Amino acid sequence: MDRRVVVTGVGPVSSIGIGKKAFWESAREGKGYFRSIDFQGIDIEQFKSRICSPVDNFSLSDYFENPKRLKKGGRATQFSVIGALLALQDAGFKLILTNKENSSRPEMFSIDGIDPMKCGVIIGQAAGNYDILLSNHVKFLDEMGPKKMNPFTLPHSNPNVGVTSVAECFRMQGTCFTVSTACSSATHAIGAAVSNIRSGIEDMVITGGVDAPIHRYYFLAFDIIKALSRRNDDPMKASRPFDRERDGFILGEGAGIIIIEEYGHALRRGARIYGEIAGYGYSADAYNIVAPDPSGSAAIYAVKKALSMANISPEEVEYINAHGTSTVLNDPNESFIIKQIFGDYAYKIPISSSKSYFGHPLGAAGGLESIVTLLIMENSVIAPTNNLDDPDIGYVDKNVPDLDKRCDLDYVPKIPRKKDVNIAISESFGFGGQNGVLVFKKI
């Protein structure tokens, strides 16, 4: 079977806004949110980087009357459930509360008009629930034994707890699993969900990505390998993809959850359709656990595979949402990859990096970036690349002297641009060379 797959709902939970309206208002104008870290009881001066992009002012009570049990879960789990709720509401599904009288459990819903066995949950997550695991580990060490350990430490810290919590909350009884491929986790989760629908396994899937990695231990791990920006005196200018002064990414958090459906399933219920996911490509660099392969061969293959599945020629692509991390190696390497695929046409394609507004939320990145791409297509406005003051047009990788890796493409700097976009791609290139690419097409 080869069924068409469309997006009918979006549920962003991000530092720049929760829900479609707030999220798009910030993304459209390229307005970022970055601030200094605040790890309770920890002297932050010991960190070389001290900037993050958190989801501040987040409260479960804004979404659930009885969030008691969900409060005990990890922050990533909470983001997953809220993102799913927002996406289902945006998709126009009628949610029926099934356990209002049982105060010992969080609200649980059935979804009117669907077959729960034909509906799945596939969500990407890179970092796991470190807040639960490490807080209980510290308690174990400080209090000298297991008696003070929370008995829910294991189930709440397992990487699968987010998808199972979403499945439980909305009674989704089809496929239910977590995808973990570092920074490309959400993109690969969406790709897996698309494959399930195309093959007839599911009619609808809640998919995307989530992560809540702003924890002192996890933050320090990135700080030690010099992956994070050290522009501590000017946090709002620290995330600057493709700029000559970039010096690392900003660790973010959140969830980018979308609802995808088989095209006929969406039509029968009269759903609003953002666009079709027409292609999905993936590959592995098989090169290094951190650095991208300077030849870009596997990443190029992933993009070409996605275009081939979509039956799209390179010259038909009208926008690229770049992985664009604001790191020294990634940005010129991605620019080079785009040039190898599109040739001279690469200079005519508008490109932007959403990480310039909400930082790098790891497993959530591909989900949030997919939402940005879909909203660009819906609104005919390209969200710009923030903080791009001086494109790095002089960079040449000394290890590969014959390859031009200048950041000299059209990255839509700082100001939104009106443009009808009918075909777009979103790129994700994760640690370990985990490459994932999605092709979106307006219907």
Hey, what CATH topology would domain 280-441 get?
Peroxisomal Thiolase; Chain A, domain 1 (3.40.47)
Number of other CB atoms surrounding residue 378 within 10 Å:
17
Q: What are the domain boundaries of the chain?
A: 5-275, 280-441
pLDDT value of position 1: 54
Low-confidence spans in the chain with pLDDT less than 70: 1, 100-106, 143-148, 395-403
Number of other CB atoms surrounding residue 345 within 10 Å:
15
User: Is pTM, for the whole model, over 0.85?
Assistant: yes
Q: Are 391 and 322 in contact (CB under 8 A)?
A: no
- Active centre residues (catalytic): 183, 323, 360
Q: Are 284 and 435 in contact (CB under 8 A)?
A: yes
Alpha carbon of 332 to those of 298, 328, 395: distances in Å? Answer: 16, 8, 7
pLDDT value of position 144: 60
pLDDT value of position 102: 58
User: Is domain 5-275 given the CATH code 3.40.47.10 in the classification?
Assistant: yes
pLDDT value of position 129: 87
Alpha carbon of 64 to those of 13, 54, 80: distances in Å? Answer: 15, 21, 14
pLDDT value of position 118: 97
pLDDT value of position 154: 77
Is-same-fold flag (5-275; 280-441)? yes
pLDDT value of position 306: 98
